[in-house]
Amino acid sequence: MKTSIRHALQVVCLIVALMPWPAAAQSQATPTNTPPSASPGASPGASPGPSAGEAAPRIGPITGLVLPRYVALRASKVNLRTGPGLRYPIDWVYMRSGLPVEIIDEFETWRRIRDWEGSIGWVHQNMLTGDRRALVVGKQRLLRREPEERAPGLALLEPGVIGRLSRCAGGWCELKVKGIEGWLREDEIYGVAPGEDVR
């Protein structure tokens, strides 16, 4: 990741280039049976299903936590598999720690996730953390001092920048990026459900 910081009109513009996005990986493993919700051999991008705003919340059968819910990748290398187990092929390899993803199903120690592009697959629970992160999406976004449109800007964030999510309320979310804390609208980021109250 390369970072360039410049000062202009008392606005610190933080331009952060994208880190490598998921790269395809191959595996010779062949699944023997299919537990509920697994799709061995299918592309993780196929049939992404409803988003968090469309799906009715339910309780995870393993953790007892609400589904869907947002978490983040714990490791800098995470294998996305077609089913919940090491015998299932690897479809993608994520190469970015802290990337927010959405848990949509559970099976034993495996979690079915969906990423910001709609790709779906299974990862082991140890590869995930409950620390909330947010991914800047769409275009450059102005990180504001207060949760309002007229608030002065603190940093200009490139799409793909990841920040630590502190809280969300009233359609605004507070993030910390490279030591700078400020606010973005929830529709400018991925990693929070529409209208979600994060504390």
Assign 3-class secondary structure to 27-79.
CCCCCCCCCCCCCCCCCCCCCCCCCCCCCCCEECCCCCCEECEEEEECCCCEE
Whether 35 is covered by a domain: the verdict is no
- Specify whether the CB–CB gap between 94 and 77 falls below 8 A: yes
Which structural domain, as residue segments, surrounds residue 148? 1-20+54-199
- Residue 44 maps to a domain: no
- The answer to whether the pTM exceeds 0.75 is no
In a domain, 34, yes or no: no
Structurally, how many domains does the chain consist of? 1
pLDDT by residue for the chain (199 residues), tens digit each? 323 322 332 333 333 333 333 333 333 333 334 455 444 333 333 333 344 445 578 999 999 999 999 999 999 999 999 999 999 999 999 999 999 999 999 999 999 999 999 999 999 999 999 999 999 999 999 999 999 999 999 999 999 999 999 999 999 999 999 999 999 999 999 999 999 999 8
Q: Cα–chain-centroid distance for residue 44?
A: 15
Q: Has residue 49 been placed in a domain?
A: no
Cα(73)–Cα(5) distance, rounded to whole angstroms? 27
